[in-house]
Amino acid sequence: MKKEQDLTEETTAGQEPEEAAKAAESEAAAAQEAESASQPEQAEQPEIKQTRTEPDPAEQLAAEKDKYLRLYAEYDNYRKRTAKEKTETYSHATAAAVETLLPALDSFSLALEAACTDEAYKTGMEKIYTQLNEALKKLGVREMEALGTPFDPNFHHAIKQAADTEYEEGMVCQVFQKGYLIGDRVIRHAMVAVAQ
Would 34 be classed as within a structural domain?
no
**Which is more confident, 66 or 21?**
66
Question: Does the residue 114 lie in any domain?
Answer: no
pTM for this prediction: 0.57
pLDDT of residue 171: 92
Give the alpha-carbon dihedral of 126, 130, 132, 135, to 10 degrees: -170
- Number of domains making up the chain: 1
Comparing 169 with 34, the larger pLDDT belongs to 169
Q: Is residue 153 part of a domain?
A: yes
Asked whether residue 167 is assigned to any structural domain, the reply reads yes
Let me know: does 164 contact 173? Beta carbons within 8 Å: yes
- The pLDDT score that the predictor gives to residue 5 is 53
Asked, for residue 170, whether it belongs to a domain, the answer is yes
pLDDT, position 36? 60
Whole domain around residue 159: which residue ranges? 142-196
- In this prediction, residue 18 has a pLDDT band, given cuts at 50, 70 and 90, of low
* 3-class DSSP state of 70: helix
Residue 115: pLDDT above 60?
A: yes
Q: What is the mean pLDDT of the chain?
A: 83
Q: Would 107 be classed as within a structural domain? A: no
How many Å is the maximal CA-CA distance in the chain?
A: 159
Task: CATH number of the domain at 183, please.
Answer: 2.30.22.10
Q: Is residue 83 part of a domain?
A: no
162 beta partners = 195
- 124 occurs within a structural domain: no
